[in-house]
């Protein structure tokens, strides 16, 4: 009984070289497809990055505007807080004098205090 491999025809060197060349061509085509896929992916990623950079620049500009608005608001709020403090200090300082002037004025016009 002969082994099945013994019945097969042996390939010539030319056929072997042709097979190796064909495998090389297929391998090269596969590598080219992979390279093209990687290149396309990198190109797409570059475009997405550029779009993201544009959005980031727009967001950064909007953020700067908001920061300017809030800093202006803070300055306005500080102005009103300082004015309120000043008015409070003036009112606390002047209230005894105004009360005394009111009492003197009432006494001068005959408005004596009553307990009714």
For residue 81, is pLDDT > 90?
Answer: yes
The pLDDT of residue 30: 92
The pLDDT of residue 20: 84
Mean pLDDT of 67-93: 92
The pLDDT of residue 4: 63
The pLDDT of residue 92: 96
Residue with tokens 């797409």: 44
Judged by average pLDDT, the poorest of 6-20, 53-67, 82-96 is 6-20
- Tens-digit pLDDT profile for residues 27-63: 999 999 999 999 999 999 988 888 888 888 888 888 8
The pLDDT of residue 3: 65
SS (H, E, C) the chain: CCCHHHHCCCCCHHHHHHHHHHHHHHHHHHHHHHHHHHHHHHHHHHHHHHHHHHHHHHHHHHHHHHHHHHHHHHHHHHHHHHHHHHHHHHHHHHHHHHHHHHHHHHHHCCCCCCCC
């Amino acid at each position: 009984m002969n082994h099945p491999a013994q019945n097969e025809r042996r390939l010539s060197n030319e056929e072997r070289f042709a097979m190796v060349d064909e495998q090389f061509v297929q391998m090269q085509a596969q590598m080219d497809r992979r390279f093209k896929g990687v290149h396309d992916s990198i190109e797409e990623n570059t475009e997405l990055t550029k779009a993201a950079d544009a959005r980031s620049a727009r967001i950064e500009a909007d953020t700067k505007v908001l920061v300017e608005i809030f800093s202006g608001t803070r300055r306005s709020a500080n102005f009103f807080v300082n004015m309120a403090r000043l008015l409070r200090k003036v009112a606390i300082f002047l209230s005894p004098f105004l009360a005394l002037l009111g009492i003197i004025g009432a006494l001068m016009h005959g408005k004596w205090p009553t307990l009714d």
